[in-house]
Amino acid sequence: MSFHLHDTLRRKKVRFEVLDPGKARLYHCGPTVYSEAHIGNFRTFLFTDVLRRWLELSGYQVTQVMNITDVGHLRDDDPEAGADKMEEAARKEKLDPWRIAEKYTALFMADIDRLGMQRAHHYPRATTYVPQMLAQIERLVQRGHAYRAGGAVYYDVTSFPAYGQLSGNRGDDLIAGARVAVLEEKRDARDFALWKSDPHHLMQWDSPYGRGFPGWHIECSAMSQSLLGETLDIHTGGEDNIFPHHECEIAQAEGATGKPFARHWMHSRHLLVDGGKMSKSIGNLYTVGQLEQMGHPPVAVRLALLRSHYRQVLNFTLDGLREAAAMVRRVRLFADAMRAAADGAEPGPPPDWLLAAGRRFEQSLDDDLNTSGALDGLFTLLNEAHRASAKGPVAAAALATLQRFDRVFGLLEVQGAQHDEMDAEVDDLIRRRTAARAAKDWGAADAIRDRLAALGIELFDGKDGKVHWRRTQAPAG
């Protein structure tokens, strides 16, 4: 079998086909950095990590891009004329939006590392791609897909008959919630802004259409095409991105080039917590940092979010998280046991049970990235190796297979399963210090450094460019 995926656009499972043999170009809609990403966001981001890892293990040369939205993402209840999420956060936190972006980008990158995600090859920030966005807008105007009205530039949806194909949504619900003034200047209620002007907006750029800022949708089509070319192999996002965001991206990208935009579309289903919607008011909008402070290591969060197939609604519970932590411990103890049982032997020919576990693993991932099936394969390996009392070359072969599986699941390599509460507190302080520094809040950063010093923790910069720590003295008490 080869990799097959459920393609949202074609509404069925299809064989994965790339533009250039052996190469896979992936674009993922990333976070809007106005607050800390929660586990619902990370479910979507982690699925892209597994996708990349599986394609690499399958022999593809992958280029992975995840954008950082730091301007232009307006509130969901009024996507055409509402407040910019970055600005709302800036006013609330009394920081300018650039500092807000730096702060939450730093926290996001720290969470990515702690969750054992491989860093994408590019994390383009929308604010650094404005010239490319303006170039795409200009092409759309020239090709008759966009028009100017009242200081804004709108996409003319009627010029692109395929609009609505991805979502099956013709966009009628856009009318609700849009402000009357905006409706009046648009030719069609479904038209969406590529460029907006608002004298009160805190982030503005000069353009041929006057000072203003880009719309959220144009950011992704311009950044993805700038970094990956006119046609991408896979574009992903959460299911809430399908409409209008991805529908609009297709209209823009294909309107500008006349070529297919993404060969495949993949979308992850949303996350429930304790059977219900996550919400700030209930207090279950968990972040990785919060869960870690509660004593749950990030690697357990990683597994808890990866255990179910990405197209199934996942119900996240703290019991499920503890179960995931136990699974991680089991896998790590097994690896240690096999290393000891191998006793330095080279891997021998794999017995039938090992081959069967490998087939289960591979066939599951080739089948639309079925991670739960692949985990069955992994735990079959554990059980069968115990049953066979594997040792010597057989244990070495079992360990080698497990390590191969782990190139997808990343449970052995991620730090954290052995973390005690002390480590979790230190990691959290370091993360907060990084965020404070990014926001140029030197007072807060220094206070955290002093607190760490009091705990007997010394910070140093690692060769990998990240901040590491060591104990200069045993923790008190």
Q: Which is nearer to Zn ion, 167 or 284 (CB)?
A: 167
Residues in contact with Zn ion, total (CB under 5 A)?
2
Q: Which is nearer to Zn ion, 269 or 296 (CB)?
A: 269
Q: How far is the CB of 300 from Zn ion (least distance, A)?
A: 29
Q: How far is the CB of 222 from Zn ion (least distance, A)?
A: 11
Query: Which two tokens mark 280?
Result: 């700030």
Distances (CA, A) of 402 to 64, 233, 294, 326: 25, 29, 30, 17
Q: Which of 393, 382, 379 is nearest to 351 (CA)?
A: 393
Q: Which of residues 289-348 bind Zn ion (CB under 5 A)?
A: none
The rounded distance, in Å, linking the Cα atoms of 467 and 457 is 12
Q: How far is the CB of 105 from Zn ion (least distance, A)?
A: 16
The rounded distance, in Å, linking the Cα atoms of 277 and 285 is 9
* Alpha-helical regions (H) of 58-149: 85-93, 97-114, 130-142
Helix, strand or coil for residue 80?
coil
Distances (CA, A) of 43 to 46, 213, 311, 358: 5, 30, 11, 25
Q: Which is nearer to Zn ion, 245 or 433 (CB)?
A: 245
Q: Which is nearer to Zn ion, 220 or 299 (CB)?
A: 220
The rounded distance, in Å, linking the Cα atoms of 301 and 280 is 19
Q: How far is the CB of 220 from Zn ion (least distance, A)?
A: 3
Burial class (CB in 10 A: 0-12, 13-18, 19+), 179: exposed
Q: Which is nearer to Zn ion, 212 or 238 (CB)?
A: 238
Taking residues 218 to 257 in sequence order and writing x for each that binds Zn ion by CB under 5 A, - otherwise, the string is: --x-------------------------------------
CB 300 within 8 A of CB 324: yes
Asked if the bond preceding 79 is cis, omega within 30° of 0, the reply is no
Q: Which is nearer to Zn ion, 35 or 434 (CB)?
A: 35
Q: Which of residues 8-67 bind Zn ion (CB under 5 A)?
A: 29
Q: How far is the CB of 224 from Zn ion (least distance, A)?
A: 8
Q: Which is nearer to Zn ion, 68 or 325 (CB)?
A: 68
Q: How far is the CB of 29 from Zn ion (least distance, A)?
A: 3
DSSP H or E segment with residue 291: helix 288-293
Taking residues 186 to 225 in sequence order and writing x for each that binds Zn ion by CB under 5 A, - otherwise, the string is: ----------------------------------x-----
Q: How far is the CB of 255 from Zn ion (least distance, A)?
A: 16
Q: Provide the greatest CA pair distance for the chain.
A: 76
Q: How far is the CB of 439 from Zn ion (least distance, A)?
A: 24
Q: Which is nearer to Zn ion, 124 or 410 (CB)?
A: 124
List residues binding Zn ion (CB under 5 A).
Answer: 29, 220
